[in-house]
Amino acid sequence: MTPLTEIGEMLISDVSRDYFFRPSFGNMSRIGSPAEIVERFAELHTSEAPRLLSAAVAAYGEIPGWLLAYINSPSFSSSAIFAGMIVMQACCDDDISALVGELRPSKRGIRAFVFRRGSLPASDIIILGQSLITHGIIGKAKVRRLQRHETNSFVSEFSAFEYISAARNHFSMPRAEAEQLTMTEFQLLINDKYPDQKGFTAEEYDAVADEYMKKKARRLAKTA
């Protein structure tokens, strides 16, 4: 199956097989409860490993090898790694433990569980998990987003069922089809159905406001 990367799908291959990932509304619900979905998103974006990766890109323009070696070392542990494992497994119908690894009961009694790593480095699990859950619950469609629809308020839950129901109502599609939509695809469909929404995006509003203030300053300077 060919993945539609524009809406968040991806295909990962190892020496033995291909793994198809789709961050659909139905698969987002497999991550856990509405609150747990948001918790996994937060862990993938705000815990130690993601912060280190983001800071490295900001400082160096890339992720240096020494940082990748540190994050991928057996001694490094981060909630983001386990969140990435959960998200990736939720988005794939096949068992992906060969890729991401698995937790196994410890035989030594020092720890309850030990982490057996898979073929993917931990840094890749984090980055892939970030991409999947962002396409699944935030959306990455390049559409005009009006200022009145933007909010910085914290949301503690993500209800996949609400978006599935909205898709069924807006697009008259059966539940099974609505469950396969990603948030990015949902945004594109909404934009296609309602293309002529009136209003400014935040960037457009700021540009108009800046131009107005410049003109006002010039008028005041002339009258001074």
pLDDT bucket at 149, cuts 50 / 70 / 90 = very low
Q: What is the pLDDT of residues 36-82, one digit of tens each?
A: 999 999 988 877 777 788 888 888 888 788 877 877 776 666 788 88
**Per the domain annotation, does 209 fall within a domain?**
no
**Per the domain annotation, does 115 fall within a domain?**
yes
Q: What is the pLDDT of residues 86-99, one digit of tens each?
A: 999 999 999 999 99
**Per the domain annotation, does 100 fall within a domain?**
yes
How many CA atoms are closer than 13 Å to the CA of 111, on its beta-carbon side? 7
Number of structural domains found in the chain: 1
Residues 6+ apart with CB under 8 A from 34: 157, 158, 159, 160
Q: What is the pLDDT of residues 195-206, one digit of tens each?
A: 765 544 455 445
> How many residues comprise the chain?
224
- pLDDT recorded at residue 216: 60
Residue 82's domain spans which residues? 5-193
**Per the domain annotation, does 216 fall within a domain?**
no
Res 110 pLDDT > 90: no
Provide the token pair at 164. 């599935």
**Per the domain annotation, does 180 fall within a domain?**
yes
- pLDDT recorded at residue 209: 53
**Per the domain annotation, does 224 fall within a domain?**
no
Model pTM score: 0.76
